[in-house]
Amino acid sequence: MRINPYLKSSLTDPDRVEKVEIHSHLKIFMPTKDHHDNSEAGIKKRSALERNLDFSFYWAAKIFAFAIAGVLIWITVQVLIKATPAIQEFGIGFLTNSSWNPVKSDYGVLPAIYGTLVSSAIALSISVPIGLGIAIFLSEDDYLPPAIQRIVVFLVELLAAIPSVVYGLWGIFVLIPFLKKITPLRGPGMLPAALILSVMILPTIAVISRDAIMNVPKGLRQAAIGVGATRWEAIIQIVLPAASSGIIGGIMLALGRALGETMAVTMLIGNANKVDTSVFAPSNTVSSLLANQFAEASGLQISALMYAALILFAITLIVNVLAQFLIVKLQKI
């Protein structure tokens, strides 16, 4: 059989072999005119109803998105207007004053800010390691049978559906009597409120962290194990860093709930308007202050409460901005 001289020279010349392969590749995948015409003929033309539905959905989604932003701005403006008399009366000193005396019209929110931040910090320090442990445990395929794993995941998610007042009642009748036996606690205080908060935000951290870990490509773990890493080395050094943006998002979402939780904390924290460094002493939060004072408030006291609500709004806004900043930074790594 006689070999084409061009092909024979191509087999011995690497540059020409590459050119032949590229030309062949283009020849295989480049559609012909007939194929292009057949493809256009096979595309079904959309009806006017479908186009109108798409157009309507686009504008409806756009309107609702702007409406959410508008509602947020409207709420902020209304709270700011109501808080203006207190802002003019107390200024920045409202943040550092520890007194709350409606008789003398002397108001300050320092103890409430302290209680809000400390109770949330204690709750996070307890729930984050436990939540991450639960997320890792429920994301591994060989720790539990699939049927049992689904049941456990459902039970963890069910914790988020329990009303906060139920948590508060459980804290009053079960948690506080138990803590009295093993700690210097004598009644409602910072510790039982923080423990209840940790239980309430635990499912948020566990579920979101598990979803983030499950979304990490399996190839990353397999590659780490393939080069000699152990299971826990792969989890700690590969999986968790890859899922860190989702995990931090879940933690910040849980922190937002802890900062704004009202009913359960009001029932357990003791509602003492003073700064006390002991976790066994009664304390207060901004949410508890608002819940306790609004029913009987009037005049300047209402404005002071609105000022406190504005401060709580600012704290949660700062937390969310920092969370978004951290997530963006981690996604660039």
Give pLDDT tens digits for 284-318: 999 999 999 988 888 899 999 999 999 999 999 89
* pTM value > 0.85: no
Q: What is the pLDDT of residue 278?
A: 93
What are the structure tokens assigned to 237, written together?
Answer: 């050094």
What are the structure tokens assigned to 271, written together?
Answer: 């509602």
Give pLDDT tens digits for 140-166: 888 888 889 899 999 998 988 899 999
Pick the CATH number of 68-332 from 1.10.10.10, 3.30.1330.10, 1.10.3720.10, 3.40.50.880: 1.10.3720.10
Environment class of 162 (CB within 10 Å of its CB; exposed 0-12, middle 13-18, buried 19+): middle
User: Which residue type, as a one-letter code, is found at position 126?
Assistant: I
Residue 257 has pLDDT above 80, yes or no: yes
Q: What is the pLDDT of residue 141?
A: 80
Q: What is the pLDDT of residue 26?
A: 43
- The CA distances from residue 170 to 162, 176, 184, 193, in Å, are 11, 9, 20, 11
Q: Mean pLDDT of all residues in the chain?
A: 85
Q: What is the pLDDT of residue 37?
A: 52
Backbone angles phi, psi at 230, to 5 degrees: -80, 175
Q: So where are the chain's domains?
A: 5-42, 68-332
Q: Which H, E and C letters describe the chain, residue by residue?
A: CCCCHHHHHHHHCHHHHHHHHHHHHHHHHCCCHHHHHHHHHHCCCCCHHHHHHHHHHHHHHHHHHHHHHHHHHHHHHHHHHHHHHHHHHHHHHHHCCCCEECCCCEECCHHHHHHHHHHHHHHHHHHHHHHHHHHHHHHCCCCCCHHHHHHHHHHHHHHCCCCHHHHHHHHHHHHHHHHHHHCCCCCCCHHHHHHHHHHHHHHHHHHHHHHHHHCCCHHHHHHHHHCCCCHHHHHHHHHHHHCHHHHHHHHHHHHHHHHHCCHHHHHHCECCCCCCCCCCCCECCHHHHHHHHHHHCCCHHHHHHHHHHHHHHHHHHHHHHHHHHHHHHHHHC
Environment class of 253 (CB within 10 Å of its CB; exposed 0-12, middle 13-18, buried 19+): middle
